[in-house]
Amino acid sequence: MNINRKSLTAEIIFVLISVTLYVIASSLVSLNRHWQFNSFWYDFGIFDTTVWKLSRLDLPVIPQLQPPYGKIVWADHFNPGVILLSPLYWLTGKEEIMFVAQSLTVGLSALIAYFISLKFIKSKLMRVSLLVSFLGFTGLQNALYTDVHNNVFVLFPLMLTIGAFFEKKWKLYWIFLLISLGFQENMAAVVTALGFYLLLRKEREVKMGILTVALGLIYGLLTMKLLIPLFNGGAYSYQPSFPGNWYEWITGFFNPPEMKLKSIILTFATFGLLPLGTLSSYPLIVGHYLERFVLNTAATRWDLGFHYNALLSPIMFLASLETLMKLQRLQNLKKLLPFWSILTILTVLYLHRFYLHGPLMLATHPVFYRQTENARFLRDFKQQIPDKGLLMTQNNIAAHFTHGNVILLNKNYTGIKPDTIAVDLRPGQNANNFFPLSEQQTQNLIASVSADPNYATKQVTDSQLIFTRK
């Protein structure tokens, strides 16, 4: 494919600047959200504690998984791949590095997507359109906004896997594929679907496809049926919920439509409906929604608001790329592709700015930074909480003690015997702050601790209390 060198250089510089600004914006938003005490021990804490302990060559035992002694993290999710992130804590001891690393991971993943498109897509406008869809997808932005997650970090090795496939570098393909599997056990479903993609595309890779399907199935069975139950001392905690009849298997993809169907339509619209044109990618797309919509009853998985959407960016990119590769070979249609690209870019901008209000816009909002300053009283409270022994505290406060021994509020405090209990009982808080308790249960817990002669009380403010075990 002949490309003007000067024009290509200008395009690459534009892409690098755009991705850099995206990484900076997403880092600022996620960091300030953390400094505002709006991040939570679930999921940030469990992830960060794992990486921290691995960086210290300790087993990643998480006290919260079975207070007070804990369980190894692989009793919850099997993610040994995060050991690759542990060198970050050889550079700094600050947990903020995880938020920056996550944003950088997404930026690098998008760059890999761009350079793949550079090899196969002739039009500069179409290549930029694919990049805008990848990064502008609100589901991915929300994943960056809502703490730190395994299935966001996995985007980088997954995109490297896709890149190695297109380059036919099969040794690298298997290395990156295994790394991708290691970030979370449910990647087994993605890998299995990727194998079917290799089998179904026109330039099919039969041997590699069969081996990839086999690897995904074996890995899924090994982790979910053997390893995780072994570490957990019981069953896999995230067992799928199977529909009761054939009708629910179908309607489960779309009902309730105000959540599931809307989520699907907005996702396809973000990618200019291009994924519809590639049948070989359907196993990846259908498999993703099958896991989230049909086999899961948690409504938090059904919209674009959480990290469950992150994997859609590489999946939809791959499907869009395949469609564009076909369309640009058709003389009657390729003339329309620049207009299609412009329409897609405008759609992404509209959805991001006006309809879905993508969270990365907060990076340009002065009020957002004033909220960080307004949270100073919580940072002052944190400084007064002892960091020795076992700390029991709220979900949002525990997220700032991930390198220590911390558990969330628990009604059985007399059995657990925490050394410190710290609470902020201001009215009007996010209910997730008190998770797994309710606000009323927290009030009842504090009433019991206040009357317990085994604990001394320090009242920091009218609503902030620290109890220390005598």
Please check whether residues 305 and 180 belong to one and the same domain. yes
H/E stretch holding 464: strand 464-469
Query: Torsions phi, psi of 464, nearest 5?
Result: -110, 120
Tally the C-alpha atoms within 13 A of residue 456's C-alpha that lie toward its C-beta: 4
Query: For the chain, first and last CA: distance in Å?
Result: 74
| pLDDT at 2 exceeding the cut of 60 | no
Contact status, residue 329 vs residue 337, Cβ threshold 8 Å: no
Please check whether residues 312 and 460 belong to one and the same domain. no
Using the 3D structure, point to which of 297, 331, 364 is the last residue of a domain.
364
DSSP states of 328-376: TT-HHHHTTHHHHHHHHHHHHHHIIIIIS--GGGGGG-HHHHHHHHHTH
pLDDT of the residue at 217: 98
Q: DSSP letter for 44, please.
A: I
Render pLDDT for 219-245 as a digit per residue (tens, 0 to 9). 999 999 999 999 999 889 999 999 989
- Place 327 in a pLDDT band, splitting at 50, 70 and 90: very high
Q: Can you give the pTM of this predicted structure?
A: 0.95
Q: Please check whether residue 435 lies inside any domain of the structure.
A: yes
Contact status, residue 62 vs residue 73, Cβ threshold 8 Å: yes
Which residue from 81, 31, 101, 60 is spatially nearest to 375, judged by alpha carbons? Answer: 31
Helices 337-350 and 260-270: crossing angle in degrees, nearest 10, is 130
Contact status, residue 468 vs residue 455, Cβ threshold 8 Å: yes
C-alpha dist (Å) from residue 107 to 102, 153, 237, 308: 9, 11, 32, 18
| pLDDT at 449 exceeding the cut of 60 | yes
- Place 357 in a pLDDT band, splitting at 50, 70 and 90: very high
Which residue from 112, 98, 184 is spatially nearest to 144, judged by alpha carbons? Answer: 98
Using the 3D structure, point to which of 337, 364, 391 is the last residue of a domain.
364
Query: What are the structure tokens assigned to 139, written together?
Result: 């589901």
Q: Please check whether residue 56 lies inside any domain of the structure.
A: no
H/E stretch holding 469: strand 464-469
Please check whether residues 341 and 296 belong to one and the same domain. yes
Please check whether residues 359 and 397 belong to one and the same domain. no
C-alpha dist (Å) from residue 93 to 49, 230, 411: 12, 32, 32
DSSP strand pairing (390-393 vs 420-424): parallel
Domain count, the chain: 2
Please check whether residues 125 and 156 belong to one and the same domain. yes
Q: Please check whether residue 126 lies inside any domain of the structure.
A: yes
Please check whether residues 239 and 385 belong to one and the same domain. no
Render pLDDT for 152-202 as a digit per residue (tens, 0 to 9). 999 999 999 999 999 999 999 999 999 999 999 999 999 999 999 999 999
- Place 4 in a pLDDT band, splitting at 50, 70 and 90: confident
Please check whether residues 22 and 135 belong to one and the same domain. yes
| pLDDT at 340 exceeding the cut of 90 | yes
| pLDDT at 1 exceeding the cut of 90 | no
Please check whether residues 179 and 251 belong to one and the same domain. yes
Please check whether residues 428 and 293 belong to one and the same domain. no
pLDDT of the residue at 218: 98
Q: Please check whether residue 50 lies inside any domain of the structure.
A: no
Using the 3D structure, point to which of 338, 364, 390 is the last residue of a domain.
364
Expressed as residue numbers, the domain containing 464 is 376-469
Burial of 462 (0-12, 13-18, 19+ CB in 10 A): exposed
Measured between alpha carbons, how far is 29 from 97 in angstroms, rounded to an integer?
14
Cβ neighbours of 259 (radius 10 Å): 17
H/E stretch holding 207: helix 206-221
Q: Please check whether residue 223 lies inside any domain of the structure.
A: yes
